[in-house]
Amino acid sequence: MKTVYITRRETFNAAHKLWNDNWSQEKNEEVFGRCSNANWHGHNFTLFVTVKGTPHPDTGFVINLKDLSVIIQKEVTEKLDHKNLNLDVPFLKGVLASTENVITAIWDRLIEPVRSHGGELVKLKLVETENNYVEYFGENEPF
Amino acid sequence: MKTVYITRRETFNAAHKLWNDNWSQEKNEEVFGRCSNANWHGHNFTLFVTVKGTPHPDTGFVINLKDLSVIIQKEVTEKLDHKNLNLDVPFLKGVLASTENVITAIWDRLIEPVRSHGGELVKLKLVETENNYVEYFGENEPF
Amino acid sequence: MKTVYITRRETFNAAHKLWNDNWSQEKNEEVFGRCSNANWHGHNFTLFVTVKGTPHPDTGFVINLKDLSVIIQKEVTEKLDHKNLNLDVPFLKGVLASTENVITAIWDRLIEPVRSHGGELVKLKLVETENNYVEYFGENEPF
Amino acid sequence: MKTVYITRRETFNAAHKLWNDNWSQEKNEEVFGRCSNANWHGHNFTLFVTVKGTPHPDTGFVINLKDLSVIIQKEVTEKLDHKNLNLDVPFLKGVLASTENVITAIWDRLIEPVRSHGGELVKLKLVETENNYVEYFGENEPF
Amino acid sequence: MKTVYITRRETFNAAHKLWNDNWSQEKNEEVFGRCSNANWHGHNFTLFVTVKGTPHPDTGFVINLKDLSVIIQKEVTEKLDHKNLNLDVPFLKGVLASTENVITAIWDRLIEPVRSHGGELVKLKLVETENNYVEYFGENEPF
Amino acid sequence: MKTVYITRRETFNAAHKLWNDNWSQEKNEEVFGRCSNANWHGHNFTLFVTVKGTPHPDTGFVINLKDLSVIIQKEVTEKLDHKNLNLDVPFLKGVLASTENVITAIWDRLIEPVRSHGGELVKLKLVETENNYVEYFGENEPF
C-alpha cells in the first residue's frame, strides 16, 4: 500500500493588524512596526492543505479534491475571505492575529472534517506575502 | 535614437473596502459584495511603473532604477504600505478606493517626479490579486 | 474623464491536437511535431480579458469584475474547461485548434456580452504554457 | 559528511481522463465530475525530482543535474509529453490516471536509474494545476 | 484577415557588470552602485519575443513556434547563456551592458531571421529580476 | 505548546563558475559543461530560511521576521549580492561554488545568529533557476 500526499490550494484576502492589548501604542509599534497600524492593513493569503493517505483502488484518490475544497471553503476561507481577522472571525476571537496563530487555528477547523472524509490532515502552509510563510504539522512529524 | 521602456516593480500591503457613502448598506452589499465588508479586507498590491526614454550614452540607462525606486517609495508605497486606503492616505481622501481610482491617483503622484529625473511616465499596472489588475496610461496611447 | 483598462484572469484545462485533415499523417507530424499526437495532449490554459472604460463615479468601476467573470465563465470557460477543443466545443467546430484560432474565436464570444454590460473588450491574452502565449485585439490598435 | 537534497524540475503536457471501467457513466460523472469527460481534457504537468546525497569533493555535486535531467526525460517526460496518459503510455496501462497513481508509477521508473548514477531518489512532486499537487516518498520518511 | 500576436519565452543565465570605461572607479560606483562590482555579478534573464501576423489557413500559425525557438536560440540565447555579457559576446562588444542596450542589440539579431520565416518582430521584453524589465519595439508603435 | 515553522525569503544576484583547479580545462568542460565558462555566468538566487519554534504568547511570533531578515541580510545576502561567489566572498574561499556547497556554507553563517534571537534554524532552500534548487537541514531530520 503506497502512501501519497495530496495538497489543495485555496486563497482568501483579509485585513488584520498585529497588536497586543496589554501593551502601549509605543511598545506595539516598537515590536510590530508597520504591522501595528491602527486602521489595519491586509494581504492576499494563500493556504495549502496537505492530506495523507493511500489511493483508493476505485478512484485513484487519497481524497476527492472537490470534497477537500468544499471542506476548506466551508470551514476556513468563507469565514476569512474579505474579513478582518481581528474583528470578524469567531474562531480567532482573542487571538493575536499573527500568521503563526492563524495557521494553528485553521488546523483545528480542518482536522476533524478531513478525517470524516477518510483523509489525514498532515500539513498546512499559509503564505502571507511572497517573502514569508508559515507551516504547521499538528502533532505529526514535520515534512 | 532608440526608445526603450523600462519597468520597476514595487509592492505594498494594504486594507480597503469598496463603499459608496451615498448608498444604503444593502445597496453597497448588492453592488460590491464581499468587498463592502464593514471591517475592511486587504491585499498584497503589486505596482509596475513604466518609464519611456532613450538610453543615455554614458550609462545605458533610460532612468536610474535606484532613483525610480526611491521616487515610487517616497511618493507612493511608503504612503500606502501597511495602511488603510480609505482612512490613512491623504491623496486618496474622498476617493472610492477601487483599483481603478487608486491607479489614477498614483499616476498623479508620479508623473512630475519621474519627469524631473529625465524620464517620461507612460504606464502603470496595479495588480490586486492573481485574478485581476488595472492599467493606466494617462493621456498617452495605451501600449 | 480618465480611461482605465481592467483585466480579469480565468482558467480552463483542455485537451487538443494540431491536425490538418487535408494532410497525411506524415505531413501533420512534420509540421506540428508532438502536437499532432493522434490521442491528444492537453494544457492548463490561462485567459486574460481586458476591458477599457471610464470608472463610474458611483462605483469606481470600469466594469463590475463579478459580472465580467460570469460573462467569461458562461461564454467561454464553462464550454472549454475539461473539454476537448477539437471535439467538444460547438463554436470551435471546423477550426484548427491552434492558440491563434482559439483566441479569435473566444473574442467573438465575448465582445457583445461585454458591450451589453457597458464595457469595451480591447484585449485577450491566452497562455498555453509558460513558454508561449498569444494576444488578440480585434479591430483595435494593439496595446 | 553533509547531506544535501537537490531538485530538478521537468515539465510535460498531456491529456487524460478519470474513469473507472467498472462503473457506469453516471457513477463516473458523479465521482469524477468534469474530469470524466469522455473526450479527455489535459494539463501542463510539472514534475519535481529530489535526490539526496553528499556533495562530491571533486564536483560539489550530489548528482550532475545534466545527468538527472537526461534520466527524467528518457524515463518519464519523453514518454508522457504530448501524450494521452490513459492510452499512449505503456507503463500506465491499466492504471486509473489520477495524479496519485501517476506519481507512484513515475517513482518506479526513476529509482533505479538515479541509483545507478550514485544518487538516492527521495521525493517526487507532481503539480497538475496551480490548485493541486501530489507528493510521494516511496518507502522513505516524508520530508 | 485577423492579426494575432504570438510570444515565445526563452531564458539565459549570464554575468555582467555596469561600467563606463571613461569614468573613475568612484564615479562608476556612484552611478552604478553594486552593479559596478569589478568581479561581475549575474542574473537569470528571461526574454519574451513577440511576432505579429495572420494565422495561416493550413496551420493556424502566425509562425511555427519550433522555428521561432530555434531562431532565438541560434541568434541569441546560445550566444548569451552561461556567458559574460561584457566579455564573451561579439555582438555586444563595446556596448555598456545595461538591459536597455542588450535588448536593442538582441532586436538587431532577430528582426531579419524572423522576417525570413514570414513573421514580423514587433516586441521584445527582457526581464532581469522580478523587480525590473525592459521592452523594445524597434520602429513600431509600442503595444 | 505548538511548534510552528516560519520561512523568510531573501534574494541575491551573483556571478560564479563551476571549476575544479585540479583538473584540466577539458575535464572541467566535460563535467561542468557551460557552467565552467572562464569568464563566469550568473543567477538570481533565492534563499528561503526556515526557523522552528513556539509562538510567543506576547507577540504570536516564532521569531520577529524583521530580525530574521536583518540577520540574513547581514550574514548572507549583503556578502553575496552583486558579488562573484568564487572571488569576492571570504566565507566561500576555497569552496567549489556549487549550490550544494554554497547552501551548507550559508547554514554555518546563520545557525548561531538565529539561535541568539531565540529561534532554531531547521531548513534552507536555495533556488538557482526555475529548474533546480537545493535544500539543507544541517543535523536535523529533513522535512
- Is D17 part of a structural domain of the chain? yes
Candidate from F58, F65, F122 with C-beta closest to A132 = F65
Average pLDDT across chain F, whole number? 97
pLDDT digits (tens, 9 = 90+) for D102-127: 999 999 999 999 999 999 999 999 99
Over residues D48-69, mean pLDDT: 98
Asked if B4 is an interface residue toward chain E (Cβ–Cβ < 8 A), one would say: yes
The pLDDT tens digits of the residues spanning C104-114 come to 999 999 999 99
Look up C128 and say whether it is catalytic: yes
Is the CB of A132 inside 8 Å of chain B's CB atoms?
Answer: no
Q: What digits encode the pLDDT tens for the residues B5-30?
A: 999 999 999 999 999 999 999 999 99
Asked whether residue A141 is assigned to any structural domain, the reply reads no
- Long-range contacts made by residues A92-98, C-beta under 8 angstroms, separation at least 24? A95/F60, A96/A18, A96/A19, A96/A20, A96/F59, A96/F60, A97/A16, A97/A17, A97/A18, A97/F60, A98/A18, A98/F55, A98/F59, A98/F60, A98/F61
Choose the closest CB to A41 out of B34, B35, B83. Answer: B83
Cell matching residue F136 = 539543507
Cα torsion D22, D23, D24, D25 to 10°: value is -110
Find chain B residues with C-beta within 8 A of A81's C-beta.
Answer: 34, 41
- Find which of E4, E46, E143 to mutate to test the C interface (most C CBs within 10 Å of its CB): E4
Is it the case that chain B and chain F have 3 or more CB pairs lying under 8 Å apart? no
Residue entry with cell 543567477: F43
Task: Give the confidence band of D60 by pLDDT, cuts at 50, 70, 90.
Answer: very high
- Does A59 fall in a domain? yes
Averaged pLDDT, C54-78 = 98
What is the full DSSP assignment across D36-90?
G-TT-EEEEEEEEEEEEE---TTT--SS-HHHHHHHHIIIIIHHHTTEETTTS-G
Q: Do residues D40 and D17 lie in contact, with contact meaning Cβ atoms separated by under 8 Å?
A: yes
F138 Ramachandran zone, left/alpha/beta (phi>0; psi -120 to 50): left
Specify which residues E70 forms β-bridges with.
none
Residue C134: what pLDDT?
98
Mean pLDDT of chain D: 97
Q: Cell 476533524 sits at which residue?
A: A112
pLDDT of C67 over the 90 cut: yes
CB–CB of C50/C5 below 8 Å? yes
- F26 φ/ψ angles, rounded to the nearest 5 degrees: -65, -45
Q: D84 and C34 in contact by Cβ < 8 A? A: no
**pLDDT tens string A70-129:** 999 999 999 999 999 999 999 999 999 999 999 999 999 999 999 999 999 999 999 999
Of A34, A39, A83, the CB nearest to B41: A83
Dihedrals phi, psi of A4, to nearest 5 degrees? -120, 150
**Whole-Å CA distances, C139 to C120, C121, C122, C127:** 12, 10, 9, 21
Closest by Cα among C138, C104, C103, C109 to C122: C138
Question: Bridge-partner residues for B122, per DSSP?
Answer: none
Please state, in angstroms and rounded to a whole number, the distance separating the CA atoms of residues D103 and D121: 13
Q: Which residue has the cell 571533486?
A: D58
Q: Between C143 and C69, where is the model more confident?
A: C69
Work out how many domains chain B is built from and give that number.
1
Mean pLDDT of chain A: 97
Q: Which residue's C-alpha cell is 556567458?
A: E83
Contact B102, B85 (CB under 8 A): yes
How many Cα atoms are found within 13 Å in the side-chain-facing hemisphere of E116?
Answer: 7
Q: Dump pLDDT digits (tens) for E38-57.
A: 999 999 999 999 999 999 99
Question: Helix D65-72 and helix D99-116: axis angle, to 10°?
Answer: 130
Contact indicator for D135, D123 with CB cutoff of 8 Å: yes
Nearest one of D142, D134, D128 to D12, comparing CA atoms = D128
**Chain C, chain D: beta-carbon pairs less than 8 Å apart:** 75
Chains touching F, CB cut-off 8 Å, 3+ pairs: A, D, E
Helices A99-116 and A65-72, packing angle to 10 deg: 130
Spatial distance between the Cα atoms of A93 and A72, rounded to a whole number of angstroms: 19
* Amino acid C1: pLDDT: 85
Cα distances (angstroms) measured from residue B129 to each of A46, B43, C11, C87: 11, 7, 14, 34
Of C11, C15, C130, the CB nearest to D42: C15
Q: For residue range E117-136, what is the model confidence (pLDDT) as tens digits?
A: 999 999 999 999 999 999 99
Catalytic residue among C56, C82, C100, C112: C82
Q: Is residue D117 part of a domain?
A: yes
**pLDDT higher than threshold 90 for residue E104:** yes
Do the Cβ atoms of C136 and E5 come within 8 Å?
A: yes
Q: Rounded to a whole number, what is the distance in angstroms from the first to the last CA of chain C?
A: 20
Q: Which of D3, D65, D122 sits opposite F132 (nearest CB)?
A: D65
A39 contacts B83? CB cut-off 8 A: yes
Q: What is the pLDDT of residue B75?
A: 98
Q: Write down the pLDDT at residue F1.
A: 85
E24: alpha, beta or left, given left = phi > 0 and alpha = psi -120 to 50? beta
- Interchain CB distance below 8 Å, C42 and D81: no
Catalytic residue among A29, A35, A43, A120: A35
β-partners of residue E51 are E6, E121
d(CA C13, CA D37): 12
Chain F, 12 to 31: residues with Cβ < 8 Å from chain E are: 13-16
Burial state string for A79-107 with b = 16 or more CB within 10 A and e = fewer than 16: bbbbbbbbbbbeebeeebbbbbbbbbbbb
What whole-number distance in Å separates Cα of residue D29 and Cα of residue D39?
13
- Contact of chains D and E by CB distance (3 or more pairs under 8 angstroms): no
Q: How confident is residue E1, by pLDDT bands cut at 50, 70 and 90? A: confident
Q: Is F35 on the interface with E (CB under 8 A)?
A: yes
- Mean pLDDT to the nearest integer, C29-52: 98
Q: Give me the residue from A2, A9, A50 closest to D130, CB to CB.
A: A9
Residues of chain E with Cβ-Cβ distance to F81 below 8 Å are 34, 41
At least 3 CB pairs under 8 A between chains A and B: yes
F84 three-state secondary structure: strand
Does B142 reside within a domain? Answer: no
Q: Give catalytic residue positions of B.
A: 35, 82, 128
Are the C-beta atoms of residues A142 and A135 closer than 8 Å to each other? yes
| Residue D142, domain member (yes or no) | no
- Give the C-alpha separation, D21 to A13, whole Å: 42
- Which pLDDT does position D1 carry in this prediction? 85
Contact A34 B82 (CB under 8 A): yes
Domain-located, residue C141: no
Nearest to D126 by CA among D61, D95, D65, D80: D80
pTM: 0.98
Tell me the sheet residues that pair with C125.
C48, C135
Mark yes or no for CB contact D134/A5 under 8 Å.
yes
Its domain, for residue D98, covers 4-136
Pairing of strands C4-16, C83-84: parallel
Cβ-Cβ contacts under 8 Å, C7 against chain B: 132-135
Q: What is the ipTM of this complex?
A: 0.96
8-state DSSP, A59:
T
- Check residue A1 and give its pLDDT: 85
For residue A75, give the nearest of A39, A34, A117 by alpha carbon. A117
The CATH number of whichever domain residue D15 belongs to comes to 3.30.479.10
- Is F99 part of the contact surface with chain D (CB cutoff 8 Å)? yes
Chain A contact set for F65 (CB, 8 A): 132
Q: Would the pLDDT of A49 be above 90?
A: yes
Residue at F99 is within a domain? yes
Catalytic position from the list F29, F35, F43, F135: F35
B41 pLDDT above the threshold of 90:
yes
CA distance F72 to F10: 8
Residue B128, C-alpha cell as written in the block: 490586486
Q: How confident is the model at residue F142 (pLDDT cuts 50, 70, 90)?
A: very high
Q: Which three cell numbers stand for residue D38?
A: 469522455
**In this predicted model, what pLDDT tens digit does every residue of F67-122 receive, in sequence order?**
999 999 999 999 999 999 999 999 999 999 999 999 999 999 999 999 999 999 99
Give exposure, C129-138, as e/b (b: 16+ Cβ within 10 Å).
bebbbbbbbb
| Helix axis angle, C65-72 to C99-116, nearest 10° | 130
Q: What is the pLDDT of residue B1?
A: 85
Average pLDDT value over all residues in chain B: 97
Cα dihedral across residues F134, F135, F136, F142: positive or negative: negative
CB C62 within 8 A of CB C4: yes
Q: How far apart are CA B113 and CA B117, in angstroms?
A: 7
pLDDT level of residue C23 (50, 70, 90 thresholds):
very high
Annotated catalytic residue, options F29, F43, F120, F128? F128
Q: Collect all residues of chain C within an 8 Å Cβ-Cβ radius of residue D126.
A: none
What would the pLDDT profile of E17-35 be if each residue is shown by its tens digit?
Answer: 999 999 999 999 999 999 9
Q: Confirm if F89 and F77 have CB atoms less than 8 A apart.
A: no
